Structure 1
Amino acid sequence: MSKICEYYFVPHSPFAYLGHARFVALAQQYDVQIILKPCDLSKVFGVSGGLPLAKRSPQRQAYRLVDLARWKDYLGLPMNLQPTYFPVHSDEAAKLIIATQLAHGTQAALELTGAIMRAVWEEERNIADTETLIGIATALGHDGKTLLKSADTASVEAEFVRFTEDAIAANVFGAPWYVVDGEGYWGQDRLDFIERAFAK
């Protein structure tokens, strides 16, 4: 019986972007089932004491950029550290991912997640824009317009709310967040520990 890993994230997170492809590859390597749970991080912050980027101290904001640059260079990933469309409202993108998972399965949703993250951090695209989201989904072979309509339904909204409630119940306070065998791991820099948990 394969392991299960719950994957909490927001589509615009730079650290989720840095870890996404490596995380997906690890799950495939160890035959781990990923449960995608894009959530509303602002509500998670509201109960966990987190702050949106603009409200963090100058020291924290400056260190974040230094840390992102280190990881970008270490991983050899293309990345605009201060992209044009960031901060960005990503709830609609999250719901599009949920709609894709419901319609086409987890693998399709994971691929869309990666494409949305690249749109922010590599391609200078605005994922709060409806046409941009349709274009990203369509480029992956989906009917982007139909998926976006599905994303705006009560059933998808209910899933988004449920995932956010699950995140709060799991004591999530940042993104990305992974839960393996009931144990939480915060951040893409914990993927070495994730691999050990997968290998047990």
Structure 2
Amino acid sequence: MSRTVDYFFTPQSPWAYLGHARFVELLRASRRAVRVLPVDYGRIFPLSGGLPLGQRAPQRQAYRLVELRRFAEHLGVALHPEPRFFPVDGGPAARLITAVAQADGPDAALRLAGAVMAACWAEQRDIASAGTLAELLDESDLPPERLGAAQAPEVQARYEAQTQSAIDAGVFGAPTYVIEGELFWGQDRLDFVRRALGL
């Protein structure tokens, strides 16, 4: 089994945002390699019984907001449960993170992913906007030309391949951490992730 951790997420997920910084800390402490894999849950949900947020029952939508507030307060993480730009298309940011992972490595991709998630959930910025993504590249000390590279067919192909890898692994929700073939779904499973990493 590979000792590389696979990190499947979508950049507009509040749950990925709530777990991101803690997950990065665990990676650093364990010195494990990571594959940063933003994926398209629009493809995954229909195959796994999931529903987009707007199609879920009202009581599930209401409870989601309660849980977001609870976790944000518990973790001391700034979060607007109903940010100005949400729902939002995560595709442009996902492809940008994919391009950065390919060109600049996983640490840079993790840094950008964290910035994108915070932009959506803490700063209420439009992460589908090219202007916002250009700003986030600059704020993350990454080359501006990555924005253009993210439009390349090979990046789209890689994004689609990552999504297929998630499907093949049995991923159904975000975030999902895969360690030596074992899936851990959700930021509230990070204590189990810690143990799996030997920490």
Is the counterpart of residue 198 in structure 1 residue 193 in structure 2? no
Q: CA deviation at 1:101?
A: 1.1
Partner of 2:174: 175
Residue identity in the other structure for 1:75 = L
The equivalent residue for 2:109 is: 109
Q: TM-score, normalised by structure 2?
A: 0.97
What letter is aligned with 2:8? Y
Find the aligned partners of 1:33 and 1:63 in 2 and give their Cα distance: 35
Structure 1 runs of 4+ off > 3 angstroms? Answer: none
Q: Distance in 1 between matches of 2:141 and 2:6?
A: 26
Distance 1:171 1:99 in 2: 24
Cα distance per residue 1:128-162 (max 9 Å; x no partner): 11111011101222232x11110001111111000
Q: Distance in 2 between matches of 1:142 and 1:198?
A: 29
Given that 1:3 and 1:31 are in contact with CA atoms closer than 8 Å, whether structure 2 keeps it comes out as no
- 1:84-122 C-alpha deviation (Å, 9 max, x unpaired): 001100101000001111111110110000000000001
Q: Separation in 1 of the partners of 2:9 and 2:42? A: 12
Alpha-carbon distance in structure 1 between the residues aligned to 2:90 and 2:187: 20
What CA deviation, in whole Å up to 9, does each residue of 1:166-188 have, x standing for no partner? 01101111100011110101100
Structure 1 gaps of 5+ residues are none
Aligned partners of 1:24, 1:164: CA distance in 2, in Å?
A: 21
- Equivalent residue, structure 1, for 2:161: 162
What value does the CA root-mean-square deviation take over the aligned residues?
1.3
- Distance across 1 between alignment mates of 2:179 and 2:124: 33
Instruction: Please tell me whether residue 55 in structure 1 is matched to residue 52 in structure 2.
Output: no
Q: Distance in 2 between matches of 1:119 and 1:189?
A: 22
1:88 corresponds in structure 2 to 88
Equivalent residue, structure 2, for 1:124 = 124
Structure 2 match to 1:12: 12
Alignment check: 8 A CA contact 1:3 1:198 kept: no
For residue 147 of structure 1, what is the amino acid of its counterpart? R
Shift of 1:44: 0.3
- Specify the alignment match of 2:30 in structure 1: 30
- Which residue does the alignment assign to 2:140? 140
Preserved contact between residue 40 and residue 91 of structure 1 (Cα < 8 Å)? yes
Q: How many residues align?
A: 199
Instruction: Tell me the secondary structure at the aligned position of residue 5 of structure 2.
Output: strand
Identity of aligned residues (%): 46
* Alignment partner, residue 3 of structure 1: 3
